[in-house]
Amino acid sequence: MTKMDIFIAEEGTYNMYSNQQTQEDDDDFGTQGRKIKQKKEIEQKVSKKMREKLPARYFAALDTQSILEPDDLRKTVHELSLFYSDPIGLTLPALNYPLLLFKHIRDLALPLDLYPAVRRTAKLLDIDFTFPRAKTRQKISFFPEIALMALLVVVVKIYHPFDFIDRHPRTLSDPGVLAVNWDYWCKVQQEYEFRETAGGTLGHGNEVKVTEADSFQLSGDQIDEYLDWFEKSFIDEERARKHPRGYPDQLLDMFPTGRPGKSINTSVSPALQHQDDEEALQRKLRAVQGSLKVREVISDSDDATRDGGTVNRIGSFYKRYRKVEELSPAAKAFHEAAAKSVAIKLPSLLVGVQQMEHKLLSWRRKRLRADEKSDSNEAASQEV
């Protein structure tokens, strides 16, 4: 690796996926809650002569005019972690998963009793949420943030499955004593995603989601906001003036791309946008948490004297989904929201969940074999 390789890797990742707060006058725009540094700012750090000498594989890292797709962040961060760990010998710190887990549970409006359940499951499986090493076999569940979300999905399927089977805890302190109404959760989640933004604007980061059909429903201020964002993000007027084959200055002055006179900023300030998002999230939390129902508690002693067959316990009839087509409407809505939280595609999340389920099954088999061996040894010692 040369110094240019290190520079391109750092600049390509930082400038494309920086999550730092920026001022309104920066040349940035948001996609999926993240900031993307535009080509104007990168060109200030990389001279024109240097860019002309770069190999073709570096152009994509410096040119950020394309819209990010899900999984791009995961792949880039994963490649950067392998780059630092293998040739350089640096180890990235482990994920601060307690805070991130609480954020995921809060954003998805899930019962808080899932928090200790996920941490216990991670401890059972010896998952430390560190980045994988270069010499190990790479799986999608090895990426720490996806592993955390996959664990959360597995625990949700254990304690709050997406079917209509009645399950009963043994005591009121058991996890899963509260039942989630998934139909109502889907309704509230849809209202949250398609809510109106503060001030009737497009909302920060929603400009890239505008389609041709949406343009007929936009107000005048929203159209101005979209065009201002497009000019700020993609149009480089200075390059057109300096380019040998560019239009003459007289023609550019006759047809300016920006607004005449002083530019009017129609976008909502980041502080107001954050306040609007927080209020919408609080409304979703109050609505979902208020709809939780307490399951009927049936102890083991009551189960022995109960007529009508065996009582279904928490975790029974666990459903495994291998394809997107197998998901029920409620399960698909939840998995889509979970995948969006970690910026990956829905099939990628299903693969990570399947790998986590396989790991959990392997732990259970080892535990059963260890218990059987312990029982046989104890029986042999009693015979002697």
The pLDDT, as a whole number, for residue 197 is 66
| CA–CA separation, 5 and 11 (whole Å) | 10
**Lowest pLDDT segment from 184-198, 203-217, 275-289, 315-329:** 203-217
CA angle 283, 289, 291 (to 5 degrees): 105
Going from the C-alpha of 350 to that of each of 128, 278, 323, 325, 332, the distances in angstroms are 21, 29, 7, 11, 10
Sign of the dihedral defined by the CA atoms of residues 336, 339, 345, 346, in that order? negative
The pLDDT, as a whole number, for residue 370 is 85
Range with top average pLDDT, 6-10, 57-61, 108-112, 212-216: 108-112
| CA–CA separation, 380 and 262 (whole Å) | 90
**Lowest pLDDT segment from 125-129, 211-215, 263-267:** 263-267
H/E/C letters for each residue in the chain? CCHHHHHHHHHHHHHHHCCCCCCCCCCEEEECCEEEECHHHHHHHCCHHHHHHCCHHHHHHHCCCCCCCCCHHHHHHHHHHHHHHHHHCCCCCCCCHHHHHHHHHHHCCCCCCHHHHHHHHHHHCCCCCCCCCCCCCCCHHHCHHHHHHHHHHHHHHHHCCCCCCCCECCCCCCCCCEECCHHHHHHHHHHHHCCCCHHHCCCCCCHHHCCHHHHCCCCHHHHHHHHHHHHHHHCCHHHHHHCCCCCCHHHHHHCCCCCCCCCCCCCCCHHHHHHHHHHHHHHHHHHHHHCCEECCCCCHHHHHCCCCCCCCECCCCCCCCCCHHHCCHHHHHHHHHHHHHCCCCHHHHHHHHHHHHHHHHHHHHHHHHHHHHHHHHHHHHHHC
Binned at pLDDT 50, 70 and 90, residue 359 comes out as: very high
Average the pLDDT over 347-356 and give the result: 93
Answer whether 107's CB lies under 8 Å from 189's CB. Answer: no
The pLDDT, as a whole number, for residue 236 is 59
Binned at pLDDT 50, 70 and 90, residue 288 comes out as: very high
The pLDDT, as a whole number, for residue 305 is 59
The pLDDT, as a whole number, for residue 77 is 81
Return the residue matching tokens 């409407």.
Answer: 329
Range with top average pLDDT, 53-57, 101-105, 233-237, 296-300: 101-105
Binned at pLDDT 50, 70 and 90, residue 375 comes out as: confident
294 forms beta bridges with 178
| CB within 8 Å of 165: residues ≥ 6 apart | 312, 316, 317
Token pair recorded at residue 184? 């109502």
Nearest to 340, CA basis, from 349, 331, 350, 329: 349
| CB within 8 Å of 346: residues ≥ 6 apart | 324, 332, 335, 336, 339
**Lowest pLDDT segment from 180-194, 255-269, 342-356:** 255-269
* Percent of the chain whose predicted confidence (pLDDT) is above 70: 69
| CA–CA separation, 320 and 317 (whole Å) | 10
Amino acid at 348: S
Flag whether pLDDT at 122 surpasses 90: yes
C-alpha dihedral, 330 to 356 to 107 to 197, nearest 10°: -70
The pLDDT, as a whole number, for residue 158 is 93
Answer whether 144's CB lies under 8 Å from 131's CB. Answer: yes
CA 114 to chain centroid: 18
Number of Cα atoms under 13 Å in the Cβ half of residue 87: 9
Binned at pLDDT 50, 70 and 90, residue 35 comes out as: very low
**Lowest pLDDT segment from 169-178, 215-224, 274-283:** 215-224
pLDDT, greater one: 339 or 372: 339
**Lowest pLDDT segment from 73-82, 182-191, 328-337, 351-360:** 73-82
Flag whether pLDDT at 192 surpasses 80: yes
Range with top average pLDDT, 157-166, 200-209, 224-233, 257-266: 157-166
* Percent of the chain whose predicted confidence (pLDDT) is above 90: 29
CA 32 to chain centroid: 9
| CA–CA separation, 208 and 214 (whole Å) | 12
Flag whether pLDDT at 283 surpasses 60: yes
Binned at pLDDT 50, 70 and 90, residue 23 comes out as: very low
